[in-house]
Amino acid sequence: MLHRNQKFPEVARRTPPRTPPESRVRDFKEIYADFAAASGAAQSSRCAQCGVPFCQSGCPLENAIPDWLKLAAEGRLEEAWRASEATSALPEICGRICPQDRLCEGACTLERAGWETVTIGSVERWLGDMAFKEGWIEPIRPVRERDASIGIVGSGPAGLAAADRLRGLGYAVTIYERQDRAGGLLMYGIPGFKLEKPVVQRRIDRLSESGVLFELGVEIGRDLSFEDLRGRHQAVLLATGVYAARRLAVPGCGTDGVVPALAYLTASNRKGLGDTVPEFESGALDARGRTVVVIGGGDTAMDCVRTAVRQGAASVTCLYRRDRDNMPGSAREVTHAEEEGVVFDWLASPRAVHDTGGRATAVRAIRTALSDPGADGRRSIRDLADSAYDCSADMVIEALGFEAEDLKTRFGTPDLAVRDDGTVWSAGTTRATTLEGVFVAGDISRGASLVVWAVREGQDAAAEIHAWLGARAQVAA
């Protein structure tokens, strides 16, 4: 008898229950629920168990997706979870925030054949949440403790993933974080309607219970020199992320009411966590009652527009210089934003910010057109003559992406090689920097990218640090 995963799909694709737009804009709770057990197993059964699993190659972590889908379809849920966590330190987080439509689900054979993709991300999230609920996730207890210790700079996804793997290998691990909470981008950059903060905190708590030390409010180069950091540990991992915001460079860009995306999102997340946020209380970083224009087309822009709606903005417009098919953000997020009342102004590029008395009143924009695709598939942009217009705005949010901070100056490390864009150089496909015993992972290595890539590089860095320390010990012996 054929296994249910070997039959032609008879079950229609269904996502987990989703809160209706008119309800979900009233708070910052996640908009999707988990699958019920029967639904999760049924959706897992849609996997065709391809001989060549394109979903796996479409995943930066190369997760063994068909394996845990098959196990879930059979009701072997703990085994499915174990298969999931074997290749990912943060599966329930990636299941929530990965743009699966561009990665695993977009590569699914069923999707390419017109039968709709398997709901891979939703199953991954469901298994992860169940693992915490059922107690399958316990503190890490290494088989053996090792003498060496590793210092990790940054507690975002790359740092957390590396710490998980290194602690599992028996190393003493200390994470240095300049903020007052751990989690980095996961805690302060991503809104709760995509990733509720207790989901992040339980991962941090597990690492703490496993013996990982967190030194919060410690900025390397200010509170602790990089030289002293290296003296404390046998190896160091740089996982700082990239937080220098790209800013508008048009007349009026310094006008009151023009704010960077990360400052805006951080204020909102801090407010949700119960902090006192003066910039929010003053109204500078609160969209309530405001006419908001968000400039940009990536996932950060989507986070901003959907946050502004929940804060009670009078109107929210996303202004982007390309069209819908050529935007870098998740198509799923655009759909969610449209459902929540966001207006998208495609093929529009900002040229100035108008003001009255120093406060923003409008964005002057110009219509654009796209060329035919070039050799790299990218379409260049040209302005259309005599197409300028004004878009009313008393709050303009710059969501233009992020760049690396100047780590060489901040850390006082002239021998640390960096690229022209400030990201830290590593040798070939390794995570090794030009400083002995110092490694790098995540956005500070590859530039602003996806959380799943940060997890992948954090895990790769952990494996490489382990190998490097092992080789060093053999030489010393």
Does residue 255 sit in the same domain as residue 192? no
pLDDT at 271 (0 to 100): 97
Query: How far is residue 104's CA from residue 98's CA, in Å, rounded to a whole number?
Result: 9
pTM of the predicted protein model: 0.95
Query: How far is residue 221's CA from residue 411's CA, in Å, rounded to a whole number?
Result: 5
pLDDT at 375 (0 to 100): 78
Dihedral over Cα of 197, 83, 235, 138: its sign = positive
pLDDT at 329 (0 to 100): 84
Does residue 414 sit in the same domain as residue 391? no
Query: How far is residue 231's CA from residue 221's CA, in Å, rounded to a whole number?
Result: 14
Query: How far is residue 476's CA from residue 418's CA, in Å, rounded to a whole number?
Result: 30
Does residue 10 sit in the same domain as residue 115? yes
Does residue 416 sit in the same domain as residue 352? no
pLDDT at 3 (0 to 100): 55
Within a domain: 260: yes
Q: In this structure, which long-range contacts are made by residues 62-68, counting pairs with CB atoms below 8 Å and at least 24 apart in sequence?
A: 62/87, 63/87, 63/88, 63/91, 63/104, 63/124, 65/104, 65/120, 68/123, 68/124, 68/127
Does residue 11 sit in the same domain as residue 123? yes
CA distances from 251 to 52, 460, 462 (A): 53, 44, 46
Domain extent at residue 282: 247-402
Place of tokens 């098959």: 70
pLDDT at 5 (0 to 100): 58
Number of domains into which the chain is organized = 3
CA distances from 413 to 159, 408, 442 (A): 21, 5, 19
Does residue 154 sit in the same domain as residue 183? yes
Per-residue pLDDT of the chain (477 residues; tens, 9 = 90+): 445 555 556 789 999 999 999 999 999 999 999 999 999 999 999 998 988 899 999 999 999 999 999 999 999 999 999 999 999 999 999 999 999 999 999 999 998 888 899 999 999 999 999 999 999 999 999 999 999 999 999 999 999 999 999 999 999 999 999 999 999 999 999 999 999 999 999 999 999 999 999 999 999 999 999 999 999 999 999 999 999 999 999 999 999 999 999 999 999 999 999 999 999 999 999 999 999 999 999 999 999 999 999 999 999 999 999 999 988 888 899 999 999 999 999 999 999 999 999 999 999 999 999 988 887 777 889 999 999 999 999 999 999 999 999 999 999 999 999 999 999 999 888 999 999 999 999 999 999 999 999 999 999 999 999 999 999 888 876
Which residues share a beta bridge with 315?
Answer: 291
Does residue 256 sit in the same domain as residue 396? yes
Does residue 79 sit in the same domain as residue 187? no
Query: How far is residue 49's CA from residue 63's CA, in Å, rounded to a whole number?
Result: 14
Query: How far is residue 259's CA from residue 280's CA, in Å, rounded to a whole number?
Result: 12
Domain containing residue 417: CATH number: 3.50.50.60
- Residue 383 has φ and ψ, to the nearest 5°, of -80, 145
Domain containing residue 85: CATH number: 1.10.1060.10
CB neighbours of residue 11 within 10 Å: 15
Does residue 457 sit in the same domain as residue 362? no
Structure tokens at 113: 């054949």
pLDDT at 466 (0 to 100): 98
Which residues share a beta bridge with 418?
Answer: 424
